Amino acid sequence: MTSINRRTLLAAGVGAGLLTACGSNTGRGDGGGSGPRLSQWYHQYGETGAEQAVERYAGAYKKAHISVQWRPGNYDQQTAAALLTGSGPDVFEVNGPTLDQIQAGQVVDLTELLDGVKDDFNPAVLTPKTYDGKIWAIPQVIDTQLLYYRKSLLKDAGVEPPATLDALVDAARKLTDSKTKGLFLGNDGGAGVLGGTPLYAAGLQLVTDDGKVGFDDPAAARTLGKLHQLYADKSLLLGAPADWSDPSAFLQGLTAMQWSGLWALPQVRKELGDDFGVLPFPRDGAHGRPSVPVGAYGAAVSARGGHRQAAKEYVKWLWVERTDYQEDFALSYGFHIPARISLAKRAAKLRSGAAADAVRFTTEYGYAQPLLWTPAAQTAYQDALSRIIKSGAGPESELRAVVRKVSDELDRVKKKP
């Protein structure tokens, strides 16, 4: 019998380690299926339990191994860069896809997945994922932004919930004192988060249905000028430790009103009980109407993935067939409106109080950023908005430059096949 010396033992150990390493799977949430190995990316949701939930969904899929990646940081930039390579995800959440991504052939046409159920998806979020008659991502949940206001503070100041932009400017001024500011629109004064919302409140659009600039109108300058008034009045909270997406400033009493997301609603309700309400962004001008921005992360399939058909089947299973998972994902962890109209209607949590108001506002006044609104157009507009709000730049001249830039962008994307 040959004795085992230390060298043999070491070699065996190394060999076993290598074999283990080769066979191991360091991904999380692996599906239990026997089919191909698919990588699925999510951006990092802040809600407790959401990560475990998506891993559970992936684990329940039997036709493929699903490796879930929960990615913190600049998720949109990460996916945009990953789509250039073959090592990116097979299935991924996308806050889009952008028109450039579609035109560059980076994502797969998913139209067939919605055969027979297309009408059950909320058109406000399905339309921006549709280009050239084809659907490029399946909306998962609807996220929206609203104006939260503290009822008691408004009552003490003798202020009614503002229904017009002028009333909002006035209310913010009246609600501002040495400890509390009237309104929080983000630490940049609203340039980042508001985007096109004030334009829609003035009865305008970012891009018209026939693909033209939708705010080449004097009403746009008038409305955006009022945002500077909020800044000039010193009614805006600026420099809060947490930005607009977090309700902390509102809950800590740093501001009487805050623009934030629907996702903040459970936390606000937990802390303030009934002492708050939600509003759409108030209308401005004779042709204005309240506006509520809506967006949706969608599930997309990378065109560079090695198992595109398997990835499509998985997306169909998770985001079309498994309505129980869709409802669980929307409402059990964070607080989102399900993208399926039938699910949104039957969700008990959305039927009363501020949540019901939010759903109603979203349905009546919701608008989504059009697909033709490119990142370059967004940068130009956002820069101009920042200069108007903070520096008091002339809205007319700023908007003239933006209109030129957006027109160029629209011409560019329309030229592409």
Partner 1 sequence: MSRRNAFWFWVFVGPFALGLALFTYVPLLWSVALSFFDAHNTVTPTHFVGLHNYTAMLRDDAFLDSLRTFLVFTAFIVPATYVFSLSLALMVNRLRRARAFFRSVFFLPAACSYVVAALVWKMSLFNGVRFGLANTVLGWFGGDPVAWLSTTDPPWYWLVIVTVRLWLQAGFYMILFLAGLQRIDPVLYEAAAVDGARPGWTVLRHITLPQLRATSVAVVLLLVINAFQAFDEFYNLLSDARGYPPYARPPLVYLYYTALGQGQNLGLGSAGAVILALVIAVVTVGQARWLRLGRTDTDG
Which listed residue (33, 96, 214, 280) binds partner 1 by CB under 8 A?
96
Which one of residues 378, 394, 396, 407 is an interface residue with partner 1 (CB under 8 A)? 378
Check residue 103 for interaction with partner 1 (CB under 8 A).
Answer: yes
**Residue 243 in contact with partner 1, rule: CB under 8 A:** yes
In whole angstroms, the minimum distance from the beta carbon of 244 to partner 1 comes to: 8
| Other C-beta atoms lying within 10 Å of the C-beta of residue 146 | 24
**Residue 258 interacts with partner 1 (CB under 8 A)?**
no
Closest CA to 83 of 106, 109, 110: 106
| Nearer residue to partner 1 within complex by CB, 40 or 79 | 79
> What's the farthest any 2 CA atoms get from each other in the chain?
98
Got the DSSP string for 24-81? ----BS----SS-EEEEEEE---STTHHHHHHHHHHH--SSEEEEEEE-S-HHHHHHH
Between 69 and 88, how does the x/- string for binding to partner 1 read (CB under 8 A)? -----x-xx--xx-xx----
Q: Counting Cβ atoms within 10 Å, is residue 156 exposed (0-12), middle (13-18) or buried (19+)?
A: exposed
* Short-list 60, 61, 69, 57, CA closest to 27: 69
CB 228 within 8 A of CB 388: yes
Q: How far is the CB of 118 from partner 1 (least distance, A)?
A: 27
Per the structure block, which two tokens stand in for 18? 């290598």
Should residue 383 be labelled a site residue for partner 1 when binding is judged by CB under 8 A? yes
Burial of 352: CB neighbours in 10 Å, binned 0-12, 13-18, 19+: exposed
To the nearest whole angstrom, how small is the minimum distance from the Cβ of residue 297 to partner 1? 13
Q: Quote the DSSP letter at residue 289.
A: -
Between 245 and 342, name the residue whose CB sits nearer to partner 1.
245
Site string for partner 1, 153-192 (x = CB under 8 A): --------------------------x------xxxx-xx
Which residue shows structure tokens 């003798």? 158
Q: Which of residues 305-334 bind partner 1 (CB under 8 A)?
A: none
Q: Please select the residue that binds partner 1; options are 347, 375, 394, 400, rule is CB under 8 A.
A: 375
- 3-class secondary structure, 333: coil
Residues 1-40, one symbol each (x = binds partner 1 by CB under 8 A, - = not), give ----------------------------------------
Query: Looking at residue 239, what DSSP letter applies?
Result: S
Using CB under 8 A as the binding rule, whether residue 44 contacts partner 1 is answered as no
Q: Select from 46-54, 101-109, 150-158, 271-279 the region that touches partner 1 (CB under 8 A).
A: 101-109
Question: What's the min distance (Å) between Cβ of 87 and partner 1?
Answer: 14
**How big is the chain by its Cα radius of gyration, in Å?**
24
By CB under 8 A, name the binding residues for partner 1.
74, 76-77, 80-81, 83-84, 96, 98, 100-101, 103-104, 106, 179, 186-189, 191-193, 195, 237-241, 243, 245, 249, 254, 374-376, 378-380, 382-383, 386-387, 390-391, 401
